[in-house]
């Protein structure tokens, strides 16, 4: 079976899906479940503060953050099955993670490197 990326890169992408994927889904959809903002140490974070200061509705950055997390969680499992059509979804999630802060940005950068540098070719496939 030919996978879109190498197995080691799939493991790293799984870790990327777990950290920014799950946390983004939780933080992004938290206001709809509880009715209040998700805030660490009383701060919403730059990803939410900047759009709100520019006049955007409060729910927009939360929705975007939740969708970034869903893209991670929906895109990585098909890569394990060898589905190459999931690569754009995971690339979108990794690029979106670059906006979320330093922790998710590092994981997003690692995800982009895994997607585009560690491609599996005929030369790398086992016999």
Contact 31, 37 (CB under 8 A): yes
Tens digits of per-residue pLDDT, 13-26?
A: 999 889 999 999 99
Count Cβ atoms within 10 A of the Cβ of residue 62 and give its class: 0-12 exposed, 13-18 middle, 19 or more buried: buried
Tokens coding 102: 């330093």
* Boundaries of domain holding 47: 7-116
Inside any domain, residue 121: no
Tens digits of per-residue pLDDT, 56-71?
A: 888 888 899 999 999 9
- Its pTM stands at 0.84
Which comes out higher in pLDDT, residue 73 or 83? 73
The string over 39-57, giving b where at least 16 C-beta atoms fall within 10 Å of a residue's C-beta and e elsewhere, is eeeeebbebbeebeeeeee
Number of domains in the chain: 1
Inside any domain, residue 20: yes
pLDDT at 2 over 70: no
Inside any domain, residue 125: no
């Amino acid at each position: 079976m030919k996978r879109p990326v190498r197995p080691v890169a799939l493991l790293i992408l799984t870790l990327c899906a777990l950290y920014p994927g799950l946390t983004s889904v939780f933080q992004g959809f938290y206001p709809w479940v509880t009715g209040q903002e998700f805030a660490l140490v009383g701060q919403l974070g730059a990803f939410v503060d900047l759009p709100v200061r520019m006049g955007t509705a409060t729910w927009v950055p939360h929705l975007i953050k939740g969708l970034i997390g869903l893209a991670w969680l929906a895109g990585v499992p098909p890569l394990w099955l060898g589905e190459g059509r999931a690569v754009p979804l995971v690339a979108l999630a990794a690029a979106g993670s670059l906006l979320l802060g330093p922790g998710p940005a590092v994981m997003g950068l690692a995800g982009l490197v895994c997607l585009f540098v560690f491609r599996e070719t005929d030369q790398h496939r086992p016999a």
